[in-house]
Structure 1
Amino acid sequence: MGHVIQTEALVKEGVITSDQGNIIARRSRQVMVSLVINAVLCFGIIAAAAGFIGLLADALAVAIVGGLFLAIGATILVKATDVYRMFGTASALIGAGMLTGGASIEILDVFGEQSGGLALLVLGLIGAAVTALIHRKGVENTGFLTGSILLMTAAMHIGGLYVWAGAAEVSGFAVPMIHLYAAVVIFGTGVFIDVRLITALAIVPFAQMLDTGTFYWHAMYAFYSPETTLSIVQLSVAMAACVAVAGLLTDRFRRHTHIFGIMAFIVANLCFLVGSLWGDVVGSHIWGPGYRDYSDDYQTFSDVKSAFEASALVISEHVYSIVWAILLIAAAFWSANTNRRGIFNAAKTFGGIHAYTQAFETFYDEPLAYVIGGLAAIPLAWGLWRLNDQFEARNALAA
C-alpha cells in the first residue's frame, strides 16, 4: 500500500534511520523515472506505427516495412546486450503494430464492416490467446514485447466487436452487454500483464453501459451522463465490490481492484457534477420517450415527455448539490483514515470543483447561503476531529 510520508521528518524523529530514508527516496525516484521512460517509449512506438501506416497507405508496403521492423527488432533482442535491448523492443513493437493495424484496415476494406469486424473479432481473440500463452511462459527479456503484442491483439478483438455491432445495428440489452464484455476483457488484460494503466481504461466501456462518456468538438472536451443517478448507482456498486474483495486478494490483484475503484469514484463524481447542474429524471434516457420517435411532431414529444416526468422520480440539482457535498466529506474522511490516497486526492479535487461550480452557478448572489454553509462547516469539522480522536485511540489500543 502506498503512503504519503516525509522521510526527512521521520529521520529527525528517529522513526527510521538515515540509510532507510535514503533507500525509500531512491526507490521512489526509480519508480518515477521508470514511469517517465516507459511513457515516452510507448508514445514513440504508437506514434511511429500509426505514422508509417498513414504514410505508406498501401497494404503490401505496410506489411513489408512492418515485417522488416519486426525482424530487426527480434534480431536485436536475440543478439544485442541489455544496453541496446530497448531499441529491439521498440523496433519489434513498431513492426507488430504496423502488421496488426495494417491488417485490420485491409480486412475491413476487403470484407466490409460487418464481415470484417467479425473476422477481426475472431483473429484478435486467437492472437490474444496465443500471445498470452507465450507471455505466460516468461521467456527472458520478452515480457514487455509479448505484453504489448497482447494489448494489440486484444484491441483488435474489441475493435472488431464494436465495428461488427455497429454494422449489424445491434440494439437493446445487447449494447450494454457488449460494453460490459469489453470492460471485462480490458480489466483482465491489465491484470494479466500487471499494468494498472490498462486496468484503469476498463472504466470507459463500463461507464458506457448507461451511455456515460465523453466527446470532442472543435477545441471543446465534454463529459455527458444522460442517466446520472443510475450511473452513480452502477459505479457505487463497482466501488463497493472493489473494496469488499480487496481483503481477499494478493497484493498484485489488490492493486488492480484499487485502481478500478478509484476510476469508478472519479467517474461517479463527474456524474454528480452533471446532476448538480441539471438534476435528473431517473430512467428518462433508458425507458423514457425518445425525440427520434416524435421527430416530426415536437409538440407531441413535449407532451409525452412531460407526462413521463410527472410519473418518474425527479431529483433536483439542489438535492444533488447537497448530497454530493456530504458524500465528498465522508469519502475524504474515510479514505484518510483507511490510507486510500487515491480516493482522498480525488475527493479533495472534486470538493474544490464542486465549491467553485456552485459558487458561480448557484450561489453567486446568495450571501445567506455562504453564511449557512460556513457556520455549518465549523461544527462538522469539530465532529470529524472528535471522531478521528476516537479512531486513533481505538487503533492505539489494538496495537
Structure 2
Amino acid sequence: MKVTLDLDKLLSDGKISEEEFTRLKVLSAESTSLLAFNILIGFGVIAVSGATLALVPAATTAIGIGAFVLIAGLGLLNSNLSQWRLLANICVLTGSLMMGGGIIAEYRGALEAILVVSAVFAAAAVLAKSSLLTVLAVLMLSASIGARTGYFHASYFLVIQEPLMTIVLFSLLATGLYFLSQKLSSDFQRLAIVASRTSVFLVNFGFWVGSLWGERSASREIIVSDTVLAVAWALALLAAAVWAWKNNSRWMLNTTAVFAGIHFYTQWFEHLDVTPGSVLLAGLVTLGAGLWLRTLKKSEPS
C-alpha cells in the first residue's frame, strides 16, 4: 500500500515530531533514488535492445531480443524483489512489443501471426498482471479481423473492415470476460474487467463505422444497411445505460453517455450537414440532455 504525505505540512501542523520528519525524509529519498535507478536501467535495456536490432536489422533478431527481455522481466517479477518491480514491468512491456513486432514483420501480418502475438500479449499480461498488456492483447485480436488505426499529415483515421463481426465478436468477449471476472481473485479480476472494457470500446467503434457505411461484402454489396446499424447502436446504448443504472456501474454509464453523444453528433451531421443552424440546434439539444441528466442525478437517493 502506498500513502502520499506532505511531510512539511505535517511537521508544521505538529502532527509529527522533528525526529519522525527526518526519518521519513530519509526513507523518501531512498525510494526516489531507487525509482530513478530503475528508470535509468530500464532506458538502458531499451537502448541496448534497440541498438542491437539496428546492428542486425532482422525480424528474427527482434523476436530473439524481445523474448529474452520478456523472460528476464517475468523472472524479476517472480523474484518478489519489490525494488526491481518497475524495471521488471519495463522489461516485460518492451520485450512483448519487440517480440510481437518481430513476429508480425517476419510473417508479414498473416492472420496466424496476429493471433500468436495476441496470445503472447495475453499470456504476458496474466503473468505480469499488466493492465496495459491486457489492452494491447484485445486490440491486437481486433487486428485479426482488419481493425487498425493510421496517420498521415495532420490526420488520424480508424479502420473497421468488418463492423458486424467486430460487434458480435467483442460483444461476446466483453460479456464473457465480465462474468468470468466475478469468479476470479482480485488481481485477475482487474485484468478481466480491463479486457472487457476494451472490448466494449471496440463494439462501439464497430457500430460507429457501421452506422456510416453499413456492412458490405467483398464486392462492396450492402449486407446490412447503415440505417439498421445506426438504429441497433442506439438500442444497444439504451440497453447498456439501463443495465449500468441498475447495476450501479459508473464506468459503463459514463462510457455509454460518451458514445451516445458521438452517435448523436455523427448521425445529426451525416443527415443534416454541418451548417451554423444544425450546429446551434445540436448544441442546444446536447445542453438540454446534459441538464436533464444532472437533474436525474440530483434526484437520486443519497
Match of 1:121?
Answer: 63
CA positional deviation for 1:213: 1.2
TM-aligned CA distance change 1:343 to 1:184, over 3 Å: farther
CA 1:130–1:86 in structure 2 vs 1: closer, same or farther (change >3 Å)?
closer
Query: 1:317 Cα deviation (Å)?
Result: 0.9
* Equivalent residue number for residue 260 of structure 2: 351
Matched residue, 1:70: none
Match of 1:177 in 2: 112
SS at structure 2 position matched to 1:222: strand
Structure 1: 5+ residue runs without aligned partners? 1-25, 31-79, 109-115, 289-304, 375-380, 393-399
- 1:68 alignment counterpart: none
Gaps of 5+ in 2: 5-28, 286-291
The equivalent position to 1:165 in structure 2, one of 69, 83, 107, is: 107
Taking the TM superposition and a 5 Å limit, the aligned residue runs for 1:92-103 are: 92-103=41-52
Structure 2 equivalent of residue 134 of structure 1: 76
Note the aligned Cα RMSD (angstroms).
2.8
1:332–1:343 CA contact under 8 A, matched in 2: yes
Q: 2:186 aligns with which of 241, 251, 272?
A: 251
Is the aligned partner of 1:274 residue 2:191? no
Q: CA deviation at 1:267?
A: 1.5
Q: Which residue of 1 aligns with 2:231?
A: 322
For each residue in 1:158-184, what CA deviation from the matched residue of structure 2 results, as whole angstroms up to 9, or x when unmatched? Answer: 121112112xxx6xxxx2232222222
Residues 20-51 of structure 1: CA distance to partner in whole angstroms, max 9, x if unpaired?
xxxxxx97xx5xxxxxxxxxxxxxxxxxxxxx
TM-superposed CA distance for 1:227, in Å, is 1.1
Aligned 8 A contact 2:163 2:207 in 1 = yes
In the alignment, structure 1 residue 89 sits paired with structure 2 residue 31: no
Shift in Å, 1:362: 2.1
Within-5 A mapping of 1:208-223: 208-223=143-158
Alpha-carbon distance in 2 for matches of 1:81, 1:219:
44
CA distance in 1, matches of 2:126, 2:46: 22
Q: Is the 8 A contact 2:72 2:91 kept in 1?
A: no
Q: Percent identity?
A: 23
Q: Which amino acid aligns with 2:90?
A: S
- 1:131 counterpart letter in structure 2: G
**Deviation by residue 1:265-309 (Cα, 9 ceiling, x = unmatched):** 11211111111111112xx2xxx3xxxxxxxxxxxxxxxx37xx3
Give the TM-score taking structure 1 as reference length: 0.59
1:14 corresponds in structure 2 to: none
User: 8 Å contact 1:121–1:156 — kept in the other structure?
Assistant: yes
Distance in 1 of aligned mates of 2:82 and 2:267: 55
- Match for residue 230 of structure 1 among 165, 174, 177: 165
For the residues of structure 2 that align with 1:160 and 1:121, how far apart are their CA atoms?
5
Q: Which residue of 1 aligns with 2:248?
A: 339
TM-score, with structure 2 as normaliser: 0.76
State how far apart, in whole Å, the 2-side matches of 1:103 and 1:125 are.
Answer: 14
The change in CA–CA distance for 1:339 and 1:255 in structure 2 (over 3 A counts) is farther
Cα displacement (A) at 1:126: 3.5
Q: Secondary structure at the match of 1:122?
A: helix
Task: Give, in whole Å, the separation in 2 of the partners of 1:218 and 1:319.
Answer: 34
Displacement of 1:141 after TM fit? 0.6
Distance 1:339 1:346 in 2: 13
Compared with structure 1, are the counterparts of its residues 83 and 130 closer, same or farther at alpha carbon in structure 2 (3 Å cutoff)?
Answer: closer
Matched, 1:148 2:97: no
Q: Distance in 2 between matches of 1:244 and 1:257?
A: 9
State how many pairs are aligned.
256
Separation in 2, partners of 1:191, 1:342 = 23
Question: How far apart, in 2, do the equivalents of 1:153 and 1:83 lie?
Answer: 25
Select the structure of larger CA radius of gyration.
Answer: 1
Q: Is the 8 A contact 1:236 1:265 kept in 2?
A: yes
CA contact (8 A) 2:62 2:101 kept: yes
CA distance in 1, matches of 2:154, 2:62: 32
- CA contact under 8 A between 1:184 and 1:202: conserved in structure 2? yes
1:224 shift after superposition? 1.3
The superposition leaves residues 133-172 of structure 1 with CA deviations (integer Å, 9 ceiling, x where unpaired) of 2320112411111221122222221121112112xxx6xx
The whole-number CA distance in structure 1 between the counterparts of 2:75 and 2:53 is 22
Quote the Cα distance in structure 2 between the aligned partners of 1:229 and 1:314: 10
Quote the Cα distance in structure 1 between the aligned partners of 2:119 and 2:259. 27
Q: Is the 8 A contact 2:212 2:226 kept in 1?
A: yes
SS in 2 for 1:81: helix
Aligned partner of 1:192: which letter?
A: L
SS at match of 2:144: helix
